[in-house]
Chain A
Amino acid sequence: MAANEREPLFSPKNLKLITNPINVDNPITKQVLGICSALAVTVKLEPAIVMSISVLAVMAFGNLIISLMRNGIPSRIRIIVQLVVIAALVILVDQVLKAYAYDVSKQLSVFVGLIITNCIIMGRFEAFAMANKPWPSFLDGLGNAFGYAWILIAVAFFRELFGSGALMGYQIIPDSFYDMGYVNNGLVILPPMALFAVAAIIWVQRSRNKELIED
């Protein structure tokens, strides 16, 4: 038995924790978590990437910490304990961003703080970290953060490309296009376009994977 208890770090079961949330169990398109920030920071690619990394850090380490403490948390006050853990991690992330990426931190404005109430994090704490060992929880955090990140980055990619003809601030669409009468699509920069973009992702994903369709 003793030999069986130590499963390898990247056993198939653990790998599934990472791959599942990226596709079929995606936090945004399936679990409907963490949508607030996903939509608001996707006008440009750079803030979206920074936001993804911030969420990744908070998520993975938050899951790890909660999982380490899970047997000591009284269930009546667990929400407060979880909030304090997240808030402490978010303060760290915020201070790091202010120190090393001040411009992006200004662009993200309140949305860094709103990672605290990002439902993905609370949702994964409740659903996974409170009931699982530290290592799987860490992987689950990573997986869900990746699932969140690719949607964010995909949406931001299209919005920046079509909205301002650039990626990461560098112009992609050549000047000759503009000379021929190409115009940036101003609609894509407006907030509602993020919703249409996510709806399109959901549409594609669900038509490829029929079992996700709601009745």
Chain B
Amino acid sequence: MQDLVNIFVKSIFVDNMVFAYFLGMCSYLAVSKTVKTSVGLGAAVIFVLIITVPVDYLMNQYLLAPGALVWLGAEYASVDLSFLSFIMFIAIIASMVQLVEMIVEKFSPSLYASLGIFLPLIAVNCAILGGSLFMQQREYQSIAEATAFGLGSGIGWFLAIVAIAAIREKIRYSNVPAPLRGLGITFVITGIMGLAFMTFMGIKL
């Protein structure tokens, strides 16, 4: 249980997707103009990460990793399909996003309306694929750990985009040098926020 909490807290603060690895920067910069839309996108990212990371974990464990096909019979023990992981992961992410979109549309039209165009965009958000690839690289031991990691990184991303959106709403009233307006100042702010988040790095969990 303690391990799970560790992984969860670590993936929110220490290994924050945006500030430590720059994942999902494209949508982070493009959709962070108002707090309202960024909350929607952040929620959608959390949602998709909780689903795709465990599914990709099972995929990796029983299909792709070296020796994963052992359940088919002893003669498959030497098969290593890990070179296929990119294509499998992205296919799972794309189809999961499609599935989630259909389910949400069917059962919760209000949530669907508020997430709007963000759901399909998530398929190409690097934070999602990055989550699965980090999960594979760090070799989590159980599906619970993978889920904790997925949830934690989703929440970390959510925090980052909501924070930057709030700052960008305020900065509209500031006198930023003209060439830095928009993109430039957002980079600088993200950098400063990243420095702030680095203080968590010393925490040993």
Contact = CB atoms under 8 A, between A and B. Distances in A.
B134 A190 contact: no
Contacts of A118: 126
Interface residues of A, number: 47
Given A191-B22, A194-B22, A196-B188, A88 B195 contact: no
A190 B194 CA distance: 9
A196 B90 contact: no
B41 to A, nearest CB: 14
Given A117-B129, A195-B191, A202-B179, A39 B22 contact: yes
B113 interface: no
A22 interface: no
B100 interface: no
Contact of B194 (A79, A195, A212): A195
B29 A35 contact: yes
A62 to B, nearest CB: 14
A150 B195 CA distance: 25
A21 interface: no
A213 B86 contact: no
Given A87-B90, A199-B188, A36 B195 contact: no
Interface in A66-104: 79-80, 83-84, 87-88, 90-91, 94-95
A45 B2 CA distance: 40
Nearest to B180: A203
Given A35-B25, A198-B187, A83 B181 contact: no
Contacts, number: 140
B178 A213 contact: yes
Contacts of B178: 206-207, 213
Given A195-B188, A199-B188, A213 B181 contact: yes
B166 interface: no
Interface string B120-135: 1001111011100110
Nearest to B190: A195
A60 B20 CA distance: 30
Nearest to B134: A110
A95 B85 CA distance: 12
A167 interface: no
A80 B94 CA distance: 7
B126 A199 contact: no
Contact of B187 (A79, A80, A202, A205): A202
B135 to A, nearest CB: 10
A199 B184 contact: yes
A95 B185 CA distance: 38
**Which residue of A36, A88, A119 has the most chain B CB atoms within 10 A of its CB atom?**
A36
B173 interface: no
Given A91-B87, A192-B195, A214-B181, A117 B22 contact: no
B155 interface: no
**A-B CB proximity, top 9 nearest:** A214-B182, A195-B191, A192-B194, A206-B179, A199-B187, A110-B133, A192-B191, A207-B179, A87-B87
